[in-house]
Amino acid sequence: MRSTMPEFPLTITSIMRYGTGRFADHEVATYTGDGYRRLPYGELAREAARLAGALRALGVDGDQRVATFCWNNTEHLTAYLAVPAMGAVLHTLNIRLHPDQIAYIADHAEDDVLLVDGSLIPLLAPILPVMKTVRHVVVIGAGDTEPLLAAGKRVHGYRALLDAASDAFDWPEVDERAAASMCYTSGTTGNPKGVVYSHRSSYLHAMAICTANGMAVTSDDRVLPIVPMFHANAWGMPYGALMAGASLVMPDRFMQAAHLAKIIEEEKPTISGGIPTIFADLLRYARRHHPDLSSLRLVPCGGSAVPESLMKGLQTEFGVRLVQAWGMTETSPTAAVAHGDDWSLRVTQGRLLAGVEGRIVGDGDTVLASDGVAVGELEVRGPWVTASYHLDENPSRFHDGWLRTGDVGRLDERGYVTLTDRLKDVIKSGGEWISSVELENALMGHPAVVEAAVIGVPDERWGERPLACVVLGGEAGVAELREFLSGKVARWQVPERWAFVEAVPKTSVGKFAKRTLREMHARGELTIVQE
Ligand code: ADP
């Protein structure tokens, strides 16, 4: 029997219409370093129309890629709406990637127009000449445009272009299956891979963000996305907020603890989200300066494992509820969130959201039990989980319609995911696996430890043994840290090799750069204390 329901398209255009129309008096506030630029959503709709009109005048009349090289602010949000809604494809470039990778990505995606924040011109200028497909560069705010012209591109001022455009745009009917936006993985292994989101996947992901099991966004909320909008769609917070009618507070480039504390005190956001390093910095800052962070009622945190000590510190001392979330660029990215009051569940990577299916796969691609015990690679699939990469010549990351996440761990019957490692970081000691994530979390619970990253290093007897690279913020020696660990992990897992470092190197998206650490170790650059 056929249903009587229409195949009504799920599009970013409809998210934009609803959010900016029904909640015209809600706003996006962008922090400027000392104050805020405010734009009511009603006016945001007109800005989006002007941007679409301006891009059309530059020749964007199909599915051309419009790239952004921008911070989290009003203009980036305008592009998030206008570009997909006009039928073009938004490509958010990660400004923190290596210049060669940015150039590779822009070429691979065939970017046509590029919107750049004036403050980022110095970063873009050296790469622009090799971005062959880019015809037009649109500069947002002030900046020296000379190097852009020297690269042979047509250069325009954002404000002047928009002021010359009409504040009404005849938004086309877009196919919900058409590409809306794209984002490349940070390429920790090999070249970055392009993930192309559809209108439909973005819509369904935004709905999942709004559910209570997701980020529980309502029209009473003010959402502060601390995840960059150039990394995995700022976890879906911009579209989620517009779908719910929540206001947005944008930190622009100011993601340091002192600025964030000020923004939270002044703008009273209720929901935020970001990686553990940002919130660990905020916790340390808050312990010294005691800002009022109590407006925050829910803060999904992920991108790498969230130490229990961080969640407990923020919750008990500042009333901020950090909940762990898991996802990846390939999963739009939000796929699991760990809600509830039970700490044995709060420390997991979260419960898979409705729509996302998961399974654990062992050696030889055998599917293992989802019993919370069997350990293997996590595979996922679902309406907002990519089923391929853009122009991928070697689709080895896909397995019978499932995405191989590269993450290793367990899945239980209730859908809770517990990750122990990334496949490329696992430590195999005498045939047994040691979880670097577990060791790091335990170590970061020690009051003198600021950060800890554990890597596997060659060992004659065991094949591989863990090396703990620790950043100290107080007094602690190897003996004390080993003793501290021995109550928390099995004795044979306690590292005997230690390196005390100034800082743990980070990837472009703020994760521990373990490959860099392994290379430093191989070159003998780490001073090892052996017990
Ligand atoms: P990339 O894969 O390019 O590094 P992503 O931001 O897409 O960039 O990273 C996704 C990866 O981040 C996941 O595959 C997983 O390894 C890690 N990750 C995300 N959330 C968590 C979490 N809560 N705990 C542990 N690892 C996480």
For residue 362, what are its two tokens? 């062992």
Residues forming a β-bridge with 407 = 422
Q: How far apart (Å, rounded) are the C-alpha atoms in residues 323 and 336? A: 10
Instruction: Report which of 111, 149, 115, 155 is spatially closest to residue 129, judged by C-alpha positions.
Output: 149
All structural domains of the chain, each given as residue ranges with its CATH number in brackets, are 12-213+228-247 (3.40.50.12780), 352-422 (2.30.38.10), 427-530 (3.30.300.30)
Whether 74 shows a pLDDT value over 80: the answer reads yes
Give the mutation target among 411, 511, 512 for probing the ligand 1 site: most ligand atoms within 8 A of CB. Answer: 511
69 falls in which pLDDT band (50, 70, 90)?
very high
Per-residue pLDDT at 41 = 98
Per-residue pLDDT at 189 = 61
Instruction: Report which of 327, 319, 311 is spatially closest to residue 441, judged by C-alpha positions.
Output: 311
Q: Parallel, antiparallel, or unpaired: how do β-strands 271-273 and 222-225 relate?
A: parallel
Atom 10 of ligand 1 has which residue's CA nearest to it?
A: 328
**Farthest CA pair distance, the chain:** 72
> How many other C-beta atoms lie within 10 A of the C-beta of residue 447?
10
- Give tens-digit pLDDT for 311-344: 999 999 999 999 999 999 999 999 999 999 999 9
Residue type, 484: F
Tell me what the pLDDT averaged over the chain comes to.
96
> pTM of this prediction?
0.94
Per-residue pLDDT at 344 = 97
Give the mutation target among 184, 185, 304 for probing the ligand 1 site: most ligand atoms within 8 A of CB. Answer: 304
Q: At what angle do helices 276-289 and 257-267 cross, to 10 degrees?
A: 80
Give the mutation target among 189, 328, 345, 417 for probing the ligand 1 site: most ligand atoms within 8 A of CB. Answer: 328
Q: How far apart (Å, rounded) are the C-alpha atoms in residues 193 and 396? A: 12
How deeply is 45 buried, as exposed, middle or buried, from its count of CB atoms within 10 A (0-12, 13-18, 19+)? Answer: buried
Q: How far apart (Å, rounded) are the C-alpha atoms in residues 252 and 230? A: 12
C-alpha 253 – ligand 1 centre gap (Å): 22
Provide residues with CB under 6 Å of ligand 1: 185-186, 188, 232, 302-306, 324, 326, 328-329, 333, 349, 405-407, 419, 422, 509, 511
C-alpha 324 – ligand 1 centre gap (Å): 12
C-alpha 326 – ligand 1 centre gap (Å): 7
Alpha carbon distances (Å) from 464 to 371, 424, 458: 28, 13, 4
Q: Parallel, antiparallel, or unpaired: how do β-strands 367-368 and 427-429 relate?
A: unpaired
* Residues noted as catalytic: 185, 330, 428, 433
Strands (E), 311-424: 322-327, 334-337, 350-352, 357-361, 367-368, 376-381, 398-399, 402-411, 416-422
Q: Distance of alpha carbon 122 from its chain centroid, rounded?
A: 24
200 falls in which pLDDT band (50, 70, 90)?
very high
Per-residue pLDDT at 191 = 83
- Give tens-digit pLDDT for 83-102: 999 999 999 999 999 899 99
Instruction: Report which of 467, 469, 456 is spatially closest to residue 429, judged by C-alpha positions.
Output: 456
Q: How far apart (Å, rounded) are the C-alpha atoms in residues 446 and 52? A: 52
Whether 187 shows a pLDDT value over 80: the answer reads no
- Give tens-digit pLDDT for 423-452: 989 898 988 889 999 999 999 999 999 999
Contact 222, 246 (CB under 8 A): yes
- Give tens-digit pLDDT for 254-295: 999 999 999 999 999 999 999 999 999 999 999 999 999 999
Atom of ligand 1 nearest to the CA of 324: 23
C-alpha 151 – ligand 1 centre gap (Å): 35
C-alpha 3 – ligand 1 centre gap (Å): 39
